[in-house]
Chain A
Amino acid sequence: MDRKTEHRELAADVELLYTLYAEALDDGDIARWPSFFADEAPLYRITTRENVERGMELCFVLCEGQAMLRDRAIALQKTVMHRRRIQRRIMSGVRLLSFDGLDGEGVKARATFAVFEAMGDDPSKLLACGRSTDVIVRQGGELKFKDRLCVVDSRVMPDSIVFPI
């Protein structure tokens, strides 16, 4: 297979990862969320453009390691009180920044995200949009996120961000 074809195949596989990830979360299947991340030292963060531009480390969500991902998933299912909402994630503009290292340090990718949310009798509203900067590795033949950083554009969130982006 020539390099160009290899890259196209990888890009398609990465796009599928984002699609499956979004589908699971949209379906409310938070219990499966950690399984989209590598077993070994994954990192998941949600922060704002404001914090990034100011060089501030604070995040809305900071999960280091699979255990913290699983803890958040279970806490959201078992302890957190929230109104029922239906979310719809749109991931687009998925682009690989590198093509080598899939079985090593991982390949870098970026994507645009938009999360819409419907609650009560209201129409779906935009909850958050922004860009994710991610690292993807291959583990046991499947692609997983090693590092996922979601940076939300707006300064003020319109509501709680209950579930992960």
Chain B
Amino acid sequence: MQSTLAWPVEESRRVPGWVYTDPSIYAREQERIFGGRFWNYVGLTAEVPRPGDFHQTYVGENPVVVVRDHEGQIRVFVNRCTHRGSQFCIEPRGHADSFICPYHQWTFDLDGTLKGVPFRRGIGGKGGMSECFDPARHGLEQLTVAERHGVIFASYAKDVEPLEDYLGPTILSYFDRVCDGRPLQVIGTMRHRVAANWKLQVENLKDTVHAALLHAFFVKFGIWRNDQNTEIRVGPRGASSVLVSTASFKPAGAAANEAITPDFDLEDKRIIAYQREFEHGTGAILTLWPNLIILQQLNLLAMRHVRPAGPNACIKSWTFFGYEGEAPELRKKRLMQANLLGPSGLITIDDNEVLACAQDGSAASPFANSVLEAGKGSGDADHLMTESALRAFYDCYRDVMDL
């Protein structure tokens, strides 16, 4: 039984099971990845439209508060009072003029400065804060914030590179394809736990091989086929990637390597009836390092945040959106097609379930390796029968994690 965690010699063509299960690796990820010089998704500006609006979310597994301050600037704070460590914000979302910790009522302005401490000068001439206490040194811990086209990112690093450089031109162009500057409008959320390591979930959106094999629903209605017009583009360092497809809408035939075709047809096609919204492709699924998936499939638009919840589970938070002022018919299509996604999604259930099986298999054999030998290299491809985006992810991962 090995006692040190050494990556296989085949580098990114192998992934050892312990990356999905080992607590020390998980802890290192929190520090190096989620605490590193990277951009973490924390919400949409549409969720905090007015000064004083806030919501809670997570960077890695750390709770943070996203708030628009009185000057209209977006701030992201660690949800921890600088007095004795209590979470100062206990509502998932809301509106506030200031943040008042429930424990001793330390009061913070929306820009994070400590502006009030009860009994600061004592009671009846006795006690109070000592002369060693300088409130200016006890403001809320603040993250670096970036915003582009209504999407908010945060980083623990003060010297993180600008978002545009971080994404690189290709990934940025796909980001701007969906988040193009038109005001976004949230239409609802889905949140559910998946019994799998967060990386298995992120990999699932880089795994082009599984779509037409696992998702029998897709194949049956020609939404996704292995022979359709597709490409994979990989961003700088292998960190981010995009899978672009153009559905053929030909019904499933007897093509090799497709899922078993069930003998069944949809009675009501509104669940997949869509209108073409984007010039290039009908589906583009972006995975932004470390754990954001921007989904555009048919008329479905969603930010999917994969929050790590220990090595063996993650929580998927989907924020579904449309564009402000869009036609009611288009909005209705988005709501109908949402039947395919989330905890009851006729596509997503497949992934949730198989990822739990993947986690169970890895947990039992942490020193066995995944084999990524489909295709070669870690770069772009104009077809789907390759694992290059997966290898690219692990190129970046091994570098960041020193493995």
Contacts and interface: CB of A to CB of B under 8 A. Distances in A.
A65 B266 CA distance: 13
Contact of B193 (A46, A75, A157): A157
Nearest to B220: A79
Nearest to A50: B189
A80 B270 contact: no
A37 B4 CA distance: 59
B146 to A, nearest CB: 26
A104 interface: no
Contact of A156 (B192, B267, B270, B353): B192
A79 B195 contact: no
A162 B344 contact: yes
A160 interface: yes
Contact of A51 (B188, B193, B262): B188
A56 B205 CA distance: 27
Contact of B188 (A56, A156, A161): A56
A80 B346 contact: yes
Contacts of B271: 68, 71
A74 B264 contact: yes
B326 interface: no
Interface residues of A, number: 38
B335 interface: yes
A67 interface: yes
Contact of A160 (B336, B353, B357): B353
B150 interface: no
A153 to B, nearest CB: 13
Interface in A60-81: 60-65, 67-68, 70-72, 74-76, 78-81
Contact of A157 (B191, B195, B320): B191
A80 B218 CA distance: 10
Interface string B74-101: 0000000000000000001000000000
Contacts of B353: 81-83, 160
B338 A62 contact: yes
B192 A83 contact: no
A56 B343 contact: no
A159 B336 CA distance: 22
A58 B189 contact: yes
Contacts of B270: 64, 68
Contacts of B354: 81
A160 B381 CA distance: 33
A64 B335 CA distance: 11
A155 interface: yes
Contacts of A81: 214, 216, 349-350, 353-354
Contacts of B320: 58
A31 interface: no
Nearest to A74: B264
Contacts of A57: 187-188, 335
A71 B262 CA distance: 13
A158 interface: yes
B342 interface: yes
18 contacts: A50-B92, A50-B189, A51-B189, A56-B186, A57-B187, A57-B188, A60-B342, A61-B344, A64-B270, A67-B267, A74-B264, A75-B346, A80-B349, A155-B92, A158-B193, A159-B193, A160-B353, A162-B344
Interface of A: 46-48, 50-51, 54, 56-65, 67-68, 70-72, 74-76, 78-83, 155-162
